[in-house]
Chain A
Amino acid sequence: MSCCGDSPGYEELDEVSKLVATKLAAFLRTLRDSGFAVGPREGQDAASLMAAGYAGKPGLLRSAFKHLFSARKSDWDRFDGLFDAFWLGRRVRSRSRTIGSTRAANSPSLKSLQDRKSEPAGGEATDQIPSDGNDAPEDRAGEGRMEGASRAQNLSEVDFRRMADPDQIEEAHEVAASLAKTMRTRLTRRDLARRRGYRLDLRRTIHGNISHGGVPISLVKRQHKAKPLRLVMLLDASGSMSMYTGVFLRFIHGVLDEFREAEAFLFHTRLAYVSDAMKEKDASRALDRLSIMAQGAGGGTRIGESLQTFNRWHAARVLHSRSCVMIVSDGYETGDAALLGREMAALARRCRRIVWLNPMMAWEGYAPEAAGIKAALPFVDLYAPANTLKSLTELEPYLAKL
């Protein structure tokens, strides 16, 4: 996506009236804000289409724009609504989904949490001593809610802090390193010239034997090329997972260090990109940033919505066809289970393998009965228990096969 493509080609401007061009540019912006991949070339083509006489017929124009601007089925399905809302002024629900990246969405709450954190004494004081009468009632109600949420978070916060224990960090790194070693490389079907291989590389053989007058004496062969596997981790940081977030965060930290290509996300009711925060050199600052991000984790888990955000805004950048997505979650979906199913299907199309690690699975008598995990399981390649670092090491032989 380019930011400089707002104006359609100037050569068209004498034909399309300036007003239409401005409106078209605004429409392009709307599309971009909704996640459509629309560049300057598309804008130019759209302008030339309008100049070619499509502008007079809304139905035809919509169909033409739909072909031009859509890039995938989700675009295709949403386009008519967006078009009608913009050009024909009809109110359509899907129009409202125009917020930017999750990080931007997170920032206000992050900030407020940070401010709270800087004056913990004050917060405690209001909790214990009845208010001195200056507080407005609704103000207090709001504070009470915040207080409750952050108290529930205490547990996981302690867990995060434990990451500072050097022994545990080392252990996490060891596990991640051995996993990384086994998972790092995958064979590709694409060949590379090698001295020892299974197939003759005629082009290089001939070129290499010019000095022998074209008699092929030394042979060049082709062999499969190894390609690094990219690991993308999505960690559920909701309340029900709070006992395990610490363990997995350490693991993620190790993975980010050891893997050449790895990305990490946290999710609870929304999704946060944490690779950068985790890569922070200064350990205490990294922890600070993380515990702030995780504090949003209060009640439920919206796995479906988080995955939707991931698919819409991050997947194109983070995933390629040789990526393995590792989801760590108990699968207690408080949102729409059907949405989770749909998003898992979309995710499965984008990446090579999906691993779902479920800490609850280690519990006796656990069966995947929750609606969320039921909807997601058909798309999961490996579904395994994992509640400690040790159980992660036991997974190694399975992960190596991915």
Chain B
Amino acid sequence: MNNREEIAQALAKSGYIADGELATAVSLMQLLRRPLLLEGEAGVGKTEVAKALASVHDTELIRLQCYEGLDQSAALYEWNYQRQLLSIQAHRGGDADAIEDQIFSEKYLLERPLLAAIRRTKPPVLLIDEIDRADDEFEAFLLELLSDFQVSIPELGTIEAITIPHVVLTSNGTRELSDALRRRCLYHYVDYPDVDREARIIMARIDGATASLSLQIARMVEGIRKEELRKVPGVAETLDWAAALVGIGVHDLLETPETVHETLMCLLKTHEDKSRLTREVTARILGKVA
């Protein structure tokens, strides 16, 4: 438990400015050995948590991107059929048992992310990204894997986990996840950062962003998020914008309202939003920043 502050510091060192609750979640992950389920709007930095976690533990990040129709052969393992066929042809006339043993050995096994994650000597961070995009069947299969950490391959036998990975799941909430999976996980809702934290994130990530500029940018973005937009800008967009402003050489938003308005394309990704934020609106929000 005393490592909570350490975790927060270590996360900060890796460039991720966490809120206090996330540090608790990470320490619980280790204590209870449960996966961590992160939910939140797109662009609030859910995937970044896993990356930061990997650098905190100084370990590999194994990522499984989910999509509809994702199945075992893309997520867990697959036999290298082409090589197997070649091998059968090459050893034509040989001892059938020997050939069988050979083509169903690990040499012919293609490791996919889930299998890879449990066969590392140092526990990696396993990021199962956008689990809501996968279908129910895959979710059920994942549930089984996450509770037993063993994989059974009919031709090869059961493969036990060498180490238990740190599992992070993310979801955008496009589909409701099953209660069983939710219960299995620690839950953390990632919200848009407050002004102070967002400013610190900008300072940590963008070289050359001064404290005053970062704070101005963060306040501006907060103002924009309060407008009625179709696509609310996330932290990634904020960072893009900050990088653009720093690159152009802006030091103070109030001095260069024209540039501010013209670079808003970094934040607003639909035509509707772009036309909603007219120069007057930009000026109004900018006025509140001061």
A→B interface (CB under 8 Å): 37-39, 41-42, 45, 48-49, 52-54, 60, 63-64, 66-68, 70-73, 75-76, 188-191, 202-203, 206, 213-214, 216, 315-316, 319-321, 349-350
Known interface pairs A49-B32, A72-B39, A203-B79. Does A38 touch B183 (Cβ–Cβ under 8 Å)?
yes
Kindly identify, within residues 30 to 71 of chain B, every residue whose CB is under 8 Å from any CB belonging to chain A. Answer: 31-32, 34, 36, 39, 68-69, 71
13 more A-B residue pairs beyond the given contacts A75-B187, A214-B89, with a C-beta to C-beta distance below 8 A: A37-B182, A49-B32, A60-B4, A66-B21, A67-B36, A68-B28, A68-B34, A76-B187, A190-B71, A202-B79, A214-B85, A321-B176, A349-B176
Closest to B173 in A: A349
Say which residue of A38, A203, A214, A316 sits within 8 Å of B88 (CB atoms). A214
Are A321 and B179 in contact, CB atoms less than 8 angstroms apart? no
Q: State in angstroms the CA–CA spacing of A48 and B32 once bound together.
A: 9
Most chain B Cβ neighbours within 10 Å, of A76, A203, A213, A321: A321
Residues of B within 8 A of A203 (CB): 79, 81
Q: A189-B135, A350-B175 are in contact. Are A67 and B81 (CB under 8 A)?
A: no
B62-93 CB mask vs A (1 if < 8 Å, else 0) is 00000011010000000101001100110010
Query: Are B20 and A63 closer than 8 Å at their CB atoms?
Result: yes
Give chain B residues whose Cβ lies under 8 Å from the Cβ of A315: 176
B179 touches A206 (CB 8 A): no
Neighbour of A52 across the interface among B1, B24, B25, CB < 8 A: B1
Asked, given contacts A206-B85, A320-B136, whether A64 binds B24 with beta carbons under 8 Å apart, the answer is yes
Contact A190 B81 (CB under 8 A): no
A191-B71, A214-B89 are contacts. A67–B136 as well, Cβ < 8 Å? Answer: no
Contacts of A349 in B (CB 8 A): 173-176
Let me know if A37 and B39 touch, CB within 8 A.
Answer: no
Measured between C-beta atoms, what is the minimum distance from A62 to chain B in Å?
10
B175, closest chain A residue (CB): A321
In the complex, chain B residues whose CB is within 8 Å of the CB of A206 = 81, 84-85
Within the assembled complex, what's the spacing in Å between the Cα atoms of A149 and B20? 54
The distance from the CB of A336 to the nearest CB of chain B, in whole angstroms, is 20
Residues of B within 8 A of A68 (CB): 28, 32, 34, 186
Question: B102 to nearest A CB, angstroms?
Answer: 12
CB nearest to A42 among chain B residues: B183
**What residues of B have a CB within 8 angstroms of the CB of A45 in the complex?**
32, 34
Contact B179 A71 (CB under 8 A): yes
**In whole angstroms, how far apart are the Cα atoms of A185 and B178 in the complex?**
22
Q: Which residues of B contact A71 (CB under 8 A)?
A: 179, 182-183, 185, 187
User: How many angstroms from the CA of A216 to the CA of B24 in the assembled complex?
Assistant: 56
Cα distance, A188 to B36, chains bound together (Å):
29
Which residues of the other chain, A, contact B179 by a CB distance below 8 angstroms?
Answer: 37, 71, 316
What is the CB-to-nearest-CB distance from B140 to chain A, in angstroms, rounded to a whole number? Answer: 11
How far is it, in angstroms, between the C-alpha of A87 and the C-alpha of B97 when the chains are bound? 66
